[in-house]
Structure 1
Amino acid sequence: MLMKDVEWLGDSLENLKTFPRQVCGPVGYALQAVQNGEKPLNAKPLKGKGVSGVFEIVQRHDTNTFRAVYIAKLKNAVYVLHCFQKKSKTGKQTQPKDMDLIKQRLKEARERDKEIEGEKQ
């Protein structure tokens, strides 16, 4: 199996670069595993309506939690939809503004994947 490319949507790469060094390394290794068709230990399905097939890499550092949200099941690439620091102090739910952005970028990822497929033909 060929290693899939990574496509960074929106400001996801810029956001990842603002994470502490101790977070970026594990997230990078996890994404590399995803590129090779593996499911990293620190990845879990994103819960919520309309995000089927979307996973999040969860990395804790000090008292903070950082997330990189991606979809790998599309044909042509691993699409990183959003990278953010979880701010909610109560519960595990992802904030509505983050979920809205993830859903918008998921739609973009699906469209981009179709474009790439069309370019190959």
Structure 2
Amino acid sequence: MNDLLRAIRPAVFVGPSQKDLRAFPAAVRSEIGQSLFEVQIGQHPRNAKPLKGFSGVLEIRDNFDGDTYRAVYTTRFEGVLYVLHAFQKKSTSGIATPQRHMDLIRQRLRDAEAIHKATKGDR
């Protein structure tokens, strides 16, 4: 058990991503929470896919009651899982992530890098 605890990478929620995730329906929180835990222990969740336009950024999708919920994260910074954004996709046209969400993810990725440098130092 101690080996497992040592192997769990900490999760850092950037901005209000944790509050946003907590606002999801219970079934969605459970599904996304399980997937994030899998990432923490070094696995690749079945419902995680690379986010187009970003290197090293993935999204977890879950559908519930006709709606799609997403959590976006990165492990590109050594030893830490950064949850960048959690949102309900409301767009009815196409599957693309709306630009305002992409811009927010881009900003939070920069924020995660700054947090990482401040807490871990440059690699």
Shorter-chain TM-score: what band?
over 0.9
1:86 and 2:89 correspond: yes
CA–CA distance in 2 between the matches of 1:2 and 1:76? Answer: 9
Which residue pairs with 2:102 in the alignment?
Answer: 99
Which residue pairs with 2:48 in the alignment?
Answer: 43
CA–CA distance in 2 between the matches of 1:47 and 1:118? Answer: 28
In the TM superposition, what is the alpha-carbon distance from 1:81 to its structure 2 partner?
A: 0.3
Which residue pairs with 1:76 in the alignment?
Answer: 79
Which residue pairs with 1:13 in the alignment?
Answer: 18
In the TM superposition, what is the alpha-carbon distance from 1:73 to its structure 2 partner?
A: 2.3
CA–CA distance in 2 between the matches of 1:29 and 1:73? Answer: 20
CA–CA distance in 2 between the matches of 1:75 and 1:116? Answer: 12
CA–CA distance in 2 between the matches of 1:76 and 1:108? Answer: 16
Superimposed CA distance per residue, residues 64-121 of structure 1 (whole angstroms, 9 cap, x where no aligned partner): 00000000121131000000000110111100110000000001111111122129xx
CA–CA distance in 2 between the matches of 1:57 and 1:42? Answer: 6
Gaps of 5+ in 2: 1-5
In the TM superposition, what is the alpha-carbon distance from 1:20 to its structure 2 partner?
A: 0.3
Aligned-residue CA RMSD (Å): 1.3
Gaps of 5+ in 1: none
CA–CA distance in 2 between the matches of 1:26 and 1:72? Answer: 19
Instruction: Normalising by structure 1, report the TM-score.
Output: 0.92
In the TM superposition, what is the alpha-carbon distance from 1:12 to its structure 2 partner?
A: 0.4
